[in-house]
Structure 1
Amino acid sequence: MKRVSIFLFAIFLTTIAFAQEPLVNGVDSVGLTVSDMDRSVDFFSKILTFEKTSDIEVAGEQYEHLEGIFGLRMRIVRMKLGEESIELTQYIAPEGRPIPADFRSNDRWFQHIAIIVSDMDKAYAWLRQNKVRHASSGPQLLPAWNKNAGGISAFYFKDPDGHALEILHFPAGKGNPKWQKSSDKLFLGIDHTAIVISDTDQSLKFYRDLLGFKVAGQSENYGVEQEHLNNVFGAHLHITAIRAASGPGIEFLEYLAPRDGRPMPADEKANDLIHWQTRLTTNDVDVAWKQLLAIDQFVSSGAVTLPDHTIGFSKGLLVRDPDGHVMELVQ
């Protein structure tokens, strides 16, 4: 898989003519590939209280061109928590590869969704009661000296396939004000999806300068709490939060230390279980295709027109960011 250098991004971004409006106007949902749909739906609905909103099965040439997988048949389930949605995809054919057993939180294919909870102690007790697999050693309260992150509590765990998930609790005065509203629910919604990256500046050239996201905040996190949250000894992260006009945010996790995280496998495919794809809405996929041509990091064969709106959009494309994370632009 090709990786785009900072130099090439700079050349491209100085010559492109940008529209007045951002290329991306919202984050619609976060998608992940699963091996057993019924098991995953049970997990997200019964443990995390997501609600299933659609359940479809598709096959055909247009979907093969969109996903870059020949001979596919997909079952796609959309689920909602609060105002945010995830999309689970099982490749009935062809099946992909499992998540590597030695997967670590600083590997650059890492991605998770941050699920906001109203009470961290109750949420952790519920997850323990349901025997979820830990990724963190336990919930971590980030230290008060960290101006931007102090007082936030977080815990990483795994779904049945081994995908990383996070529960997160914001103290008063931090996070989106909607998370501070009184609620009788334990699991409230999705604040963001986080991705491990190799270089913040390079990622900003893609997400901010090209796609039109805005930087919403930054912090530098380290110490024993961060190490135990990520389960990575010596973890020292530069974190950047970005947002579009609507939907959950995207969070960059750049590991300043240790720097031994593995890159996205060059042969990663949409049917592999390490695959996530974040759906972004745009006014014109053809315009997006033309603006993204210079970086040539497409998963799709082009801007693909679908036979109908069965999967929620009429035209779309999949493209990789500088570290190989997949964004799905749709209209």
Structure 2
Amino acid sequence: MAIRSHCIGMTVADTNSMVNFFEEIFDFESQGCTNIPNLSCSQFWGYPNSSVHVNTLKLGRELLEIRSSSDINSFRLPVDTNGNDLWFRHFAIVTSNIDDAFNRIRDHVIFTSTSPQTLPSWNVKASGIKAFKFKTPEHHSIELIQFPPGKGKPEWQSKDKLFLGIDHTAISVGNVESSRLFYEKIIGMNFLGSGTNYGVEQSSLDGLVNSKVEILSFGVDDGIGLEFLHYVEPADGRKNNNITGVNWYFRVVVCNLNEVAQKAFDNGVQWVSNGIQEIDAISDFRRGLVLRDPDGHIVEVMESL
């Protein structure tokens, strides 16, 4: 049902600064900008009395949208967000050389990890993967990741550029089964596998004490993957009760939007948009809707022209 997912989006306070951040440090390329009027924002994204400015950036084949709203105070992330908080989301930028990438970004980001970590040999599914987690100046979380030979997509083995693209987005989840129902049965993503990460490397990567996290991976026919992060320890992550607005979003393209909408309605999913909306502000799409998953994470579901 879900056929592709090439876009992650974030809402920011200072558009120019954040666009420059991704262009100058991570080599994203500008794809233009769009202004979306109040009515469209209210009906589709649930932004009351707000207009939105969207800058689209590209890295490899994947897109990152930087949005600013005239009501930005509704969209700020808590500065003390941790990976086990249930509003947590990050996306993973693939690098061909994590040491060179770390040296480039280290003076421009807020560290979550103590330093780049290499996952241990006992963790067969993740063995040899190198990663480093950090936050942008506006506290959006990002992961740098380098895949060893034989892991990840073939294109992630390229040495042509330092930053290659976006591999996946990851979300913290409270109840695995509820989240699987949403993403597999309603959105139509495919379950790819699971594993559990723990130990000193994972704690150093997450910036948490005695971190132990169950990771479930999902994919579509083409594009950005999705990971669930279900923290067994520490188990004191905060719920999404007080986080409003669309801080982060993940866009998937489906074949049959009516089917997704009906399944969402039948399963009591929270809608952000006021029903299915005709799309006139986002190119390449005919109709769309915006949903919240069981933990409040935003998913834009689009139907192609």
Query: Which TM-score tier does this pair reach, normalised by the shorter chain?
Result: over 0.9
- My pick for the range that moved more, 230-239 or 207-216, is 207-216
Instruction: Give 5+ residue unaligned stretches, structure 2.
Output: none
SS at match of 1:25: strand
The structure with more strand, counted as a fraction of residues: 2
Give aligned pairs, total. 302
Query: Quick one: percent identity of the two aligned structures?
Result: 35
**Where do residues 168-183 of structure 1 align in structure 2 (5 Å cutoff)?**
168-181=145-158, 183=159
Could you tell me how far apart the structure 1 residues matched to 2:75 and 2:149 are?
42
Q: Is the 8 A contact 2:54 2:66 kept in 1?
A: yes
Structure 2 equivalent of residue 197 of structure 1: 173
Q: Is the 8 A contact 2:96 2:146 kept in 1?
A: yes
Q: Is the 8 A contact 2:77 2:243 kept in 1?
A: no
Could you tell me how far apart the structure 2 residues matched to 1:28 and 1:168 are?
18
Partner residue of 1:244 out of 220, 225, 232: 220
Q: Is the 8 A contact 2:56 2:66 kept in 1?
A: yes
Structure 2 equivalent of residue 111 of structure 1: 89
Report 1 or 2 for greater relative contact order, CA contacts < 8 Å, sequence distance ≥ 6: 1
Runs ≥4 in structure 1, deviation > 6 angstroms? none
2:201 is equivalent to residue 225 of structure 1 = yes
Q: CA RMSD in A?
A: 1.5
Residues 139-187 of structure 1: CA distance to partner in whole angstroms, max 9, x if unpaired?
A: 1111111010111110011112110011001111111122113x32100
Q: Is the 8 A contact 1:50 1:81 kept in 2?
A: yes
Q: Is the 8 A contact 1:62 1:305 kept in 2?
A: no
Structure 1 equivalent of residue 270 of structure 2: 297
**Where do residues 49-128 of structure 1 align in structure 2 (5 Å cutoff)?**
49-93=27-71, 95-128=73-106
Q: Is the 8 A contact 1:71 1:94 kept in 2?
A: no
SS at match of 2:259: helix
SS at match of 2:167: strand
Partner residue of 2:118 out of 137, 141, 160: 141
SS at match of 2:40: helix
Q: Is the 8 A contact 2:252 2:302 kept in 1?
A: yes
Deviation at 1:118, TM superposition (A): 0.4
Could you tell me how far apart the structure 2 residues matched to 1:141 and 1:320 are?
34
2:131 is equivalent to residue 154 of structure 1 = yes
Deviation at 1:309, TM superposition (A): 4.4
SS at match of 1:293: helix
Could you tell me how far apart the structure 2 residues matched to 1:266 and 1:313 are?
32
Could you tell me how far apart the structure 2 residues matched to 1:312 and 1:95 are?
30
> TM-score scaled by structure 1?
0.87
